[in-house]
A and B are shown apart, each in its own frame.
Chain A
Amino acid sequence: MSRFPKPAEGSWTEHFQLDTLPMSYEDSISPDYYERERTQVFKRAWLNVGRVEQLPRVGSYITKEIATARASVIIVRDKDDTIRAFHNICRHRGNKLVWNDDPTAETSGTTRQFACKYHGWRYGIDGACTFVQQESEFFDLDKAQFGLVPVHCDVWSGFIFINLDREPQQGLHEFLGPMITNLDGYPFDKMTSRFAYRTEIKANWKLFIDAFAEFYHAPILHAKQSPEKYSSAAAQAGFEAPHYRIDGLHRLVSTSGVRFWELDSEMVKPMETITRSGLFGPWDKPDLGVEKMPPGLNPAGCDPWGLDSFQLFPNFVILIWSQGWYLTYHYWPTSYNSHIFEGNVYFIPPTNARERVAQEMAAVTFKEFALQDANTLEATQMSLESRVIDRFPLNDQEVLCRHLHQVVAEWVEQS
């Protein structure tokens, strides 16, 4: 028996008109398929590369390495406060323009201009070429024709997106669609206290999105994160999400909340009681200073509500907790069986040590869970690559995994 009502079709999977047959994971172990993803997905989709708070002043910049698209991009706040993006390539002889010590590593800073380390060509933060060393040695060189190559760049709710296509098929807002843009007004801009994490995962990028697209695994893989009494109850009950939603390319799962502060002390860990915090975040919700939450948040009105995980095509997740904080995940492929995983945790700046320690507890708990999630992926990748089994049954709580692989396939096959 379901705890939560299923759609009229009998299942979420059928409701979204996805097939219910066992699924192939060939798309996660095939080098050829990955080569097509590089050009068909990552060079055509809007990609989130950070938030505007990372560029606080005119001249603030970050670089972003997008290995799968063989691109390095400079994102900079221009004099008119517009966020601009450029390919990180000097127009003279193609040296990488902005880097520090290690040319493969990302960097950030604030500058009035970018100067090439090789022959000293300089560019303004608007991308214009402003100086050519020994200009008179060149042959009819018109500096105006040698500005940095722009990359399409747009901002939604403080999230900076780029698109590496010459002419994107859609603008950013159209690409995001109403399920995502209905989050407009959520106070992301106030949640500036940030923890950022990164690791390399030896598995296909889609496998990690799958891992966070279903919570069927949670009572099992994460059982030991909780006291025995809680975890055995959770495993007995199994996981069900009250609500799933799919809007074009993007996906949402809403989960129910747990009022940990009302639970018996045997059901929570001592450190959760001491810090009044845990996986779901600080138990005492901060004042977000917003009168009415945007309609896109908890759209099904779950009560108690736990979180909304918005999975944006192709490789970006915004996960908003009911306790007034949020996470982002990024999955940056580096080969068919490896990717860089980035996690960011954002809180309202704490007003005192007690709030800060509660946030520390939530952030450390997040890392403990992520380490467990990460390590199963390498094991899965190895097994899939054996090709002993080629079809895998997915249940209705894994509906979003099916959707991800389907939309990636649609883009890969588009001409």
Chain B
Amino acid sequence: MSLLPTEFAELEPYASTWCLATEPERYATRLATPIREMIEFYDAITPRAEEALTYLDQFDLDKMPDEATNLLHLLYSMVMVSFPVEAWGQPKVPDTGSATFDCFVEPRP
């Protein structure tokens, strides 16, 4: 069973880990994933990001097919991992010790 639209089949290996509906799930997965795995995901998805946005723009946000919603969630995860990959070189923001900032309300989708 594929999670993503067929046009984005090459991203399928990342879907089961990163198609996550909520920020707390995405943030927790980021903290628990080694940086090299996030770089691999980032390198795979960023060249397809513009195409994915164009693909998703054909749908109403409230009436997306499941595969499209999954792709949107994958793009949210792309945004999430971009900070470790582009800025920090590690999953956590440097020098943030035990600091947390928990997201408890977010728009759906």
Q: A interface vs B, CB < 8 Å?
A: 193-199, 224-225, 269-271, 274-275, 341, 343-344, 347, 349-354, 356-357, 359-361, 363-365, 367-368, 370-372, 374-375, 378
Contact = CB atoms under 8 A, between A and B. Distances in A.
Contacts of B95: 372, 375
B86 interface: yes
A195 B87 contact: no
Nearest to B95: A375
15 contacts: A195-B106, A271-B78, A353-B57, A353-B75, A356-B61, A356-B107, A357-B75, A360-B75, A360-B76, A371-B93, A372-B93, A372-B96, A375-B95, A375-B97, A378-B99
B32 interface: no
Contacts of B61: 350-353, 356
Nearest to B104: A196
Contacts of A343: 101
Nearest to A343: B101
A60 to B, nearest CB: 15
A368 B61 CA distance: 26
Nearest to A344: B105
Given A271-B83, A371-B93, 20 more contacts: A195-B23, A195-B106, A197-B104, A224-B88, A224-B94, A270-B46, A270-B82, A271-B46, A274-B46, A354-B53, A356-B109, A357-B72, A360-B75, A368-B83, A371-B101, A372-B93, A372-B95, A375-B95, A375-B96, A378-B99
A255 B87 CA distance: 24
Given A225-B87, A270-B82, A353-B53, A195 B103 contact: yes
A221 to B, nearest CB: 9
A347 B80 CA distance: 19
Given A198-B104, A353-B61, A356-B72, A364 B79 contact: yes
Contact of B101 (A225, A365, A374): A374
Contacts of B106: 194-196, 363
Interface residues of B, number: 35
B96 A374 contact: yes
Interface string B66-84: 0000001001101110110
B101 A354 contact: no
B96 A371 contact: yes
Contact of B56 (A353, A361, A364, A372): A353
Contacts of B72: 353, 356-357
Contact of A269 (B80, B87, B100): B87
A270 B75 CA distance: 14
B93 to A, nearest CB: 5
Nearest to B64: A353
A193 B75 CA distance: 18
B79 A275 contact: yes
B82 A271 contact: yes
A357 B23 CA distance: 13
Contacts of B75: 353, 357, 360
A406 B50 CA distance: 51
A195 B102 CA distance: 10
B53 A357 contact: yes
Contacts of A270: 46, 82, 86
Contacts of A365: 83
Contacts of A378: 97, 99
A367 B101 contact: yes
B101 A195 contact: no
B59 A353 contact: yes
Contacts of B57: 352-354
B28 to A, nearest CB: 13
A270 B46 CA distance: 9
B101 A274 contact: no
A284 to B, nearest CB: 12
B58 to A, nearest CB: 9
A196 B50 CA distance: 28
A199 B105 contact: no
